[in-house]
């Protein structure tokens, strides 16, 4: 574990340097960009190593997997994001376990999250996941349905709509993902206009293409393998 831990620390450092360079190219401040370390398949010790290296937000894909790691990490307080698809029958558990739900994509799920957060006397930060390329991706709200979903969610007292998230198709050349990032930003800008409220967050970009996403306005980059190493095939 000692070796894995030190490589996580050096990976975090190099990711942070790459973020700083991408931000500079786009005339942005690196401090505007949060790394959400995508820790699926990696154990609690790896999360702790990344935390010790300065990461303050983590993204898990599955409620159950996160439940199995959570107890070991009760002493640290980064923000915990759910970045994977959430079924509405797990909304209650998810609302207790996460500070952010980044993958909200339908109204029924949103209602359940709002109810659960309300019962706990809390609120949840949410992002709407947009299906940015209908031919490639399955999860996410269709672009035509986005305005209605956003309007419904801003009425929900225990949800705080903070922005949009998307997973573009994998492109061999990262720059080919640029149009998708740009489209997500434009959808966000349009929504800010129609809702007349700020939606500051754009969660876009992963290990392979986060620099392009930052050039296009990402405020949260979800980075897994560039921090934790390659995931083993299941």
Q: Which residues bind ligand PLP (CB under 6 A)?
A: 38, 40, 61, 83-84, 167, 206-208, 222-226
Q: Which is nearer to ligand PLP, 158 or 224 (CB)?
A: 224
**Residue 75 carries which DSSP code?**
T
Asked if 94 contacts 86 with a C-beta cutoff of 8 angstroms, the reply is: yes
Least distance from ligand PLP to the Cβ atom of residue 226, Å: 6
Distance of alpha carbon 116 from alpha carbon 109, whole angstroms: 11
- Choice between 38 and 116, CB closer to ligand PLP: 38
Q: Which of the 8 DSSP states describes residue 140?
A: S
Can you read off the two tokens belonging to residue 18?
């790459």
d(CA 195, CA 96): 28
- Quote the least distance from Cβ 138 to ligand PLP, whole Å: 12
Smallest separation, CB 31 to ligand PLP (Å): 21
Give the DSSP letter of residue 217: T
Please give the residue whose beta carbon sits closest to ligand PLP in the complex: 224
Q: Is 29 or 231 the residue whose CB approaches ligand PLP more closely? A: 231
Of the two residues 112 and 222, which places its CB atom closer to ligand PLP in the complex?
Answer: 222
Residues 6+ apart with CB under 8 A from 128: 104, 105, 141, 146, 149, 150, 153, 161, 163, 164, 165
The answer to whether 60 and 82 are in contact (CB under 8 A) is: yes
Check: CB of residue 230 under 8 Å from CB of residue 191: no
Nearer of residues 130 and 206 to ligand PLP, judged by Cβ: 206
Q: Cβ of residue 129: shortest distance to ligand PLP, in angstroms?
A: 9
Q: How far is the CB of 168 from ligand PLP (least distance, A)?
A: 11
């Amino acid at each position: 574990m000692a070796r894995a831990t030190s490589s996580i620390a050096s990976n975090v450092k190099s990711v942070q340097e790459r973020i700083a360079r991408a931000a500079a190219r786009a005339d942005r401040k690196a401090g505007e960009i949060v790394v959400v370390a995508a820790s699926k398949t990696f154990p609690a010790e790896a999360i702790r190593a990344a935390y010790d290296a300065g990461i303050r937000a983590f993204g898990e894909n599955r409620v159950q997997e996160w439940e199995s790691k959570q107890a070991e990490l009760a002493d640290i307080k980064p923000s915990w994001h759910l970045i994977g698809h959430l079924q509405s029958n797990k909304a209650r558990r998810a609302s207790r376990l996460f500070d952010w739900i980044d993958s909200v994509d339908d109204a029924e799920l949103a209602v359940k999250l709002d109810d659960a957060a309300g019962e706990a006397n809390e609120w949840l930060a949410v992002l709407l996941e947009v299906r940015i390329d209908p031919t490639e991706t399955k999860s996410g709200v269709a672009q035509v349905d986005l305005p209605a979903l956003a309007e419904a969610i801003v009425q929900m007292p225990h949800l705080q709509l903070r922005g949009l998230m998307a997973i573009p198709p994998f492109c061999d050349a990262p720059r080919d993902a640029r149009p998708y990032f740009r489209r997500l930003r434009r959808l966000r800008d349009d929504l800010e206009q129609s809702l007349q409220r700020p939606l500051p967050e754009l969660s876009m970009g992963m290990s392979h293409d986060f620099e392009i996403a930052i050039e296009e306005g990402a405020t949260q980059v979800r980075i897994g393998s560039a921090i934790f190493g390659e995931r083993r095939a299941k």
